[in-house]
Every structure is written in C-alpha cells, then in structure tokens.
Amino acid sequence: MIDYILPFIVLILVVVFIHEYGHYYFAKKYGVGVTDFSIGFGKEIFGWNDKSGTRWKICWIPLGGYVKFFGDRNVFSQADQEKIINKYSTEDQKKLFVLKPLYQRALIVAAGPIANFILAIFIFFSIYTFVGKDFTPAVINEVKKNSPAMIAGLKKNDIILSIDGHEVKSIMEVSKFITMSTDEYIDFIVSRLNQKLSFKVKPNMVLTEDNLGNKINKKMVGIQLGAFNNEVNHVKLGPVKSLYYAVNEVYFVSVSSLKYLGSLVRGKGDTSQLGGPIRIAKITGQVAEFGILPFLSIMAYISVSLGLINLFPIPLLDGGHLMFYGFEKILGKPLSQKTQEGFFRIGMFLLLSLMFFTTFNDLKDLGLF
C-alpha cells in the first residue's frame, strides 16, 4: 500500500503546486497580497514565512491546495466593495484582490488551470525531445473471426491511417483512439493495396483487464496489430516538432475528456470509468513501478484533467469564478452577494455528489461493494 501512496503524494504535490503557483505568480505580478500558499488542507504539517509575509505550508490532507489573498473572506466573489474600501487603508487597498481590474482578477483565476496545461506540455515536450516518440505505422496482422472488425470489412494487412478523424501516426495510438471514442460506431480509414477505404466499426464493450491488471470496460474491435514491415520507428524530435506534438496531445486529451463527459450527460457514457483519489492513487502507484517515464506521463494526464475540471463553470471551481466575472462584464457590476451564495450552494451540491459517486466507484473497484 505504501508503494501506491508515496508516488500519489509526489504526483499531487507537483500538480497542485504548479496549479496554485499559477494563481500566486499573477497575484504577485498585479500587486495582490498573498498571506497563505498551502499544499493540502487541514492542519499544517510544516511551513515557513517568506520575506513578503506569505506562509508557505504543507497540510495533512493532500487532495488539493489553495492560495489565500490578503483580506480574503470570499476572495473570488465578494460583491460588497464599499465595506472593503472603508475597512482598509489606502495602502492596504492596493493589495486587495477584489479591487483589482476585472481582467487582472480573471487572469489570476485562470492562471491555475493554464499552469496545469503548461506543465503537461512541458512533460510531453521533454519526453519527445530527450526520449523520443513512436512513429511506427499500424498494420492489422489478424482480424478475429466474427469480430466487429471482420463484420465491418477490415482485413489482414490493412494499414490504419485514421480513427474517428484522428490521423494514426503510431501503432501506440490505435488503442488510445478506440478507447477515447464516444460514438456508437468508430470510423476507420485504412490503406489497402494503395487504396484508401472507409469502414464503420461497432465495437463490443467487454469487461477485461488493462495492462496494470485493473478491471475495466473496454471497447474491443477484434484486431491484432503489428509494425509495418516489422520495423519500429522511434525517433527523438527537434524542439519545434516536440512542442507541436506536446500541444496536440494536451488538446486531444482535453477534447476527448469533454466528449466523454458529454456522453455521460446524454446518458450514453460508461460511468464506471469515473474515478476519484483512491483510483488515481492506485493507478499512479502501479504506473510508477514501470519507471520514471510512465510516471511522468500519468502526471501530465492528471495535470490536464485538473486544469480542465477547474475550468468548468461550477462555483467553488476556477471556472465558476470566471463565470461570475463574465456576468460582471455583461452587467457592469458584480452579481449580488445573495445570488452568488445561491450559486455556491448549487456548486457545493454538485461537487459533493461527484465526490460521493467517484468514491463509490473507487471502493467498488477495490471489491468493497
């Protein structure tokens, strides 16, 4: 168990620190006072004060973090500015978040999720530059009898060119594109005898095990892949190409995640794949056993997820605060405190419901239900 907990804590410390540092960096840039920079919640384990008076600390519950600004009562949604102005001196007012221009407040809030995307891009960029990226074309070596692929018309020796409109540049991408597909049919474009052919494959949903031994519902089309001409093409990329593919990977993960969530809203998605901290800890520990590169990759994917989730327009999340600023821009003034508090109650209910559901899935995954 300790083998799972330590990698998870390291991952959370890095991903959360980067997220909160995004808020912190732009807060300091625009002269906002920062009193606390916390990794984790609850009682402080240890910490220190810097020269500007910020308390940097690590707390016992490593499931997030926060940056607390000077004069913070409800820092992102304070509507009653008159009371604030009367409470603080002219000098102190310069350090108050709520008195900053709207664009500065929006940048400070958005900087956390943006920092998570930048971290993921940096990790992928480093891997592609110093380790390399696979560009081995995917060839179908075998089509299972009576499988969805055979029924659709795929054949042995077909070279897979694209899946659901995504160009397949590597044999490694085939499983990823199939897994991330959210439609009933998966669109394949293959090369057969120098001709491009299109096929629609309806995958079977099969309860199986992933490479780590975890039980998952997986889309299966019934093909076995091999390398084109049995040659593996793994190359280190230059800075420009590495950056391009790193940004493209973050974009793909973000769009695919949004499509998956959209399928859940429509009632067509597989809710068993939703997991919380327990499942993340388990997978992180399993991946860490394979080495530093898989661990860094899972860190990048978690960082993308954290950045994306925090942009959802749900009060209590960064996206909720950005939503309030959108209303403020349109109306010319902040929403009333009563209205914002109503939104926060809705946001709290949604987040608690999601936490309950994902925790139930995690416990079920462990065989406790």
Cα→Cα distances 38→114, 277, 280, Å: 19, 19, 21
First to last CA, the chain: 19
Cα→Cα distances 64→15, 18, 60, 149, 251, Å: 9, 11, 11, 43, 24
Which two three-digit tokens encode residue 87? 């409470």
Q: Which residue has the tokens 């997220």?
A: 19
Contact assessment for residue 301 and residue 253, using Cβ atoms and an 8 Å cutoff:
yes
Contact assessment for residue 189 and residue 196, using Cβ atoms and an 8 Å cutoff:
yes
Which two three-digit tokens encode residue 23? 């808020």
**Is 142 among the residues known to form the active site?**
no
Contact assessment for residue 277 and residue 362, using Cβ atoms and an 8 Å cutoff:
yes
d(CA 369, CA 360): 8
Q: Is 336 exposed, middle or buried (0-12, 13-18, 19+ CB in 10 A)?
A: exposed
CA dihedral of 75, 77, 80, 83, whole degrees rounded to 10:
0
d(CA 220, CA 6): 34
Strand partners, 143: 223
CA-wise closest residue to 174 among 132, 130, 227: 227
Between strands 223-227 and 55-69, the pairing is unpaired
Which two three-digit tokens encode residue 116? 């998570």
CA dihedral of 363, 365, 366, 368, whole degrees rounded to 10:
50
Q: Is residue 283 classed as helix, strand or coil in its secondary structure?
A: helix
Indicate which residues carry an active-site annotation.
20
